[in-house]
Amino acid sequence: MLIKRAADIAHSEITPKSTYLNRRAFLAGLPAAFLGARALTAGTKLPNVTKSPYSTSEKINSFNDVSTYNNYYEFGTDKNEPSVYAKGFKTSPWTVSVEGLCAKPRKFSIEEIMALAPLEERIYRHRCVERWSIVVPWIGYSLSTLLKQVEPTSKATFVAFETFFDRKQMPHAAGLDFPYVEGLRMDEAMHPLTLLTVGMYEETLPPQDGAPVRMILPWKYGFKSVKSIVRIKLVSSVPPTSWNKQASNEYGFYSNVNPKVDHPRWSQAQERRLGELRMRPTLLFNGYGDQVASLYNGMDLKKYY
């Protein structure tokens, strides 16, 4: 059977339905595009995405690079496994609970998250601790927009993330304790570069890239950028993080990209862009130092790795 993607459907075919959806959207105060069930399946075109001044002008990797070479241990530990084993991952219905030290804790449906703020395309460099890097046009908005909704109290100094885990849907999960957890300091979480991500390449995220909602932190190693988030908790002390629990001498809490701090088993001074053969020099904070270095003023980055 041929299944049409939203972008392939002629306007004339959908007009009656869109009239109906517009009415529902008006009633709910949400953009119409997010109310149809089809809008939330993987690979659906996202409308009205604006360009961001935070984007790099470097050459973008192919969609194929970014969707077939993945780290997502819930769907297998080999880079090619998530694109195979995450097929059919159920991302609807989906809710994200935002809770903890805040005045207005609540659950957000994925539709509410998509409609909370204008979606921006942010072309970011992304660096994995295993020394590969990619350039991806992600789509989302700053995490601060979501956090402000729940009104964090002054006691909220860190943010803890928990991601989805279901052994039945993830029978190939291996190599870590699940669910995968991560954390940020509050000022890192509120930084405008910190992207709550719902899409890439003009579409909703494929499951292997973290559908329906993930983080992207371009100045940190890839493992901080958690996929398929279900809980965001405002807390008052450093939250546990999956890779630190696994090997604390290899993976610290901050995990800022730093060519001068080697991984105990290999140098971090160079990286290979997917699709290229040559090695490139790795930049401090992955090249985002102008924006983020001030977050770490006075900190010994060799100690706080």
Q: Using CB under 5 A as the criterion, which residues of the chain lie in contact with Mo ion when the complex forms? A: 71, 128, 222-223
The answer to whether 153 touches 102, Cβ cutoff 8 Å, is yes
Assess 197 for contact with ligand MTE (CB under 6 A). no
What is the amino acid identity at position 45? K
- 74, interface contact from ligand MTE, Mo ion, none, CB < 5-8 Å by kind: ligand MTE
Assess 226 for contact with ligand MTE (CB under 6 A). yes
# of chain residues touching ligand MTE (CB under 6 A): 16
| Rg of the Cα atoms in the chain | 19
Which of 52, 61, 70, 194 touches ligand MTE by CB under 6 A? 70
Handedness of CA 83, 84, 88, 93 (dihedral sign): negative
Nearer to ligand MTE, 218 or 222 (CB): 222
* Strand-by-strand arrangement of the 106-109 sheet: 106-109, 95-100, 229-235, 158-163, 181-185
Stretch that binds ligand MTE, among 1-9, 114-122, 154-162, 219-227 (CB under 6 A): 219-227
| Unique residue bearing structure tokens 């090997």 | 247
In the complex, residue closest to ligand MTE by CB = 222
Assess 222 for contact with ligand MTE (CB under 6 A). yes
Assess 254 for contact with ligand MTE (CB under 6 A). no
In the beta sheet, which residues pair with residue 200? 138, 203
Q: Least CB distance from residue 26 to ligand MTE, whole Å?
A: 35
Cα–Cα distance for residue pair 199/202, rounded to 1 Å: 7
Nearer to ligand MTE, 21 or 128 (CB): 128
Which of 133, 163, 194, 258 touches ligand MTE by CB under 6 A? 163
In the beta sheet, which residues pair with residue 215? 196
Which segments of 150-293 does DSSP mark as H helices, in order? 186-189, 242-246, 289-292
- 76, interface contact from Mo ion, ligand MTE, none, CB < 5-8 Å by kind: none
Assess 282 for contact with ligand MTE (CB under 6 A). no
In the beta sheet, which residues pair with residue 263? 266
Nearer to ligand MTE, 228 or 256 (CB): 228
- 253, interface contact from ligand MTE, Mo ion, none, CB < 5-8 Å by kind: none
Q: Least CB distance from residue 70 to ligand MTE, whole Å?
A: 3
Assess 296 for contact with ligand MTE (CB under 6 A). no
Cα–Cα distance for residue pair 144/260, rounded to 1 Å: 30
Q: Are strands 95-100 and 106-109 parallel, antiparallel or unpaired?
A: antiparallel
In the shown chain, the binding pattern of residues 119 to 138 toward ligand MTE, with x for contact by CB under 6 A and - for none, equals: ---------x----------
Residue 67 zone, left/alpha/beta (φ > 0; ψ -120 to 50; rest): alpha
Assess 42 for contact with ligand MTE (CB under 6 A). no
Stretch that binds ligand MTE, among 65-73, 107-115, 248-256, 272-280 (CB under 6 A): 65-73
Assess 72 for contact with ligand MTE (CB under 6 A). yes
Closest by alpha carbon to 234, among 194, 190, 278?
Answer: 190
Contacts of 271 (CB under 8 A, 6+ apart): 127, 131, 132, 133, 279, 280, 281, 282
